[in-house]
Structure 1
Amino acid sequence: MMQTGDVAANTDHSRELRQELDVVEETLRLLLQLVLAPVKLASASSLETAAVWLLEREIMHWLTLGPFTRSEVIM
């Protein structure tokens, strides 16, 4: 049977691992945005379409992030 200290240590380790995975996920999302943005912007039919797409992308980016994985914190 696990001791209380072991359970707490496992919980802390799981929490730390999840935070590290969140940072990796955020980094990959940012990289994907950097790769896809020029392609999407180049294929836009007008400046208005490109501006709307950039705004939507930024909004979705912020909505998908948790409070501890904001881009400003990572960089």
Structure 2
Amino acid sequence: MADEIRSSTSASLLAGAAWRKSTRSGAIGNCVEIASLGGDEIAMRNSRHPDGPALIYTRAEMAAFLAGAKDGEFDDVLH
């Protein structure tokens, strides 16, 4: 991606990103969407604000987070 993309950028600047969300997302738009940006980057945004900020992570960062989530490491934030 271009050098202007930082760890947080406007999702509207990510032209051509194919955003998707989980089928477990609620009907009222309470979900997070992700898009592969090619190379080593993955973007995440709030579906209620599609032109708002997007957080940019490396594939390794996302893999570490997803592994922790699958292992239940973040379950305490729901309580």
Q: TM-score, normalised by structure 2?
A: 0.24
More strand by share: 2
More helix by share: 1
Kindly name which structure, 1 or 2, has the bigger radius of gyration based on alpha carbons.
1
